[in-house]
Amino acid sequence: MNRLTKTREAGFSITEVIVAVLILSIGLLGMVGLQTQAVKQTHGAEKRSIATLHANTVAENYRVNDGAWDESAMNRVVKRHLGDEAGVALTVEDELARIRVSWKSQQNDGNGMNSVTVYTRSQ
């Protein structure tokens, strides 16, 4: 009554496990890369929104004060929010004022300058 029964082992081989872990790792690395880019883009969008807010503030002050504005005070505010290399420039041609807020980009290699330009009429 001694029967030899052939049983088959069930489960995964080590090769299957290694391949599955490798595929999972590649997918997770891709997700981490996407998340990193999303954070950088969000930071850039925040800086652009702040620059636009400051440019609009200068435009409103310029209109309300009949062309007068405090350049040094506004540059201090912009530098505080956008970094030491940021600045505001206002140029007027005919009755059209051009307000440009620029700042150093922290995206990619961090060597680029970004800017936002707003135009307004003095009256």
Mean pLDDT of the chain: 86
Sign of the torsion angle spanned by Cα atoms 52, 44, 100, 89 = positive
Provide the whole-model pTM.
Answer: 0.71
Bridge partners, 104 (sequence order): 113
First to last CA, the chain: 109
Q: Residue range 27-40: average pLDDT?
A: 94
CATH level 2 (architecture), domain 14-121: Roll (3.10)
CA distance 90 to 113: 17
For 7-24, the pLDDT digits (tens) are: 666 777 899 999 999 999
What Cα–Cα distance (Å) separates residue 9 from each residue in 3, 18, 19, 21, 51?
A: 18, 19, 20, 22, 66
Bridge partners, 103 (sequence order): 114
CA distance 26 to 51: 38
- Categorize the per-residue pLDDT at 123 as very low, low, confident or very high, splitting at 50, 70 and 90: low
What Cα–Cα distance (Å) separates residue 85 from each residue in 69, 80, 90, 102?
A: 21, 10, 17, 8
CA distance 74 to 88: 7
Tell me the domain boundaries of the chain: 14-121
Residue 26 in tokens: 């590649």
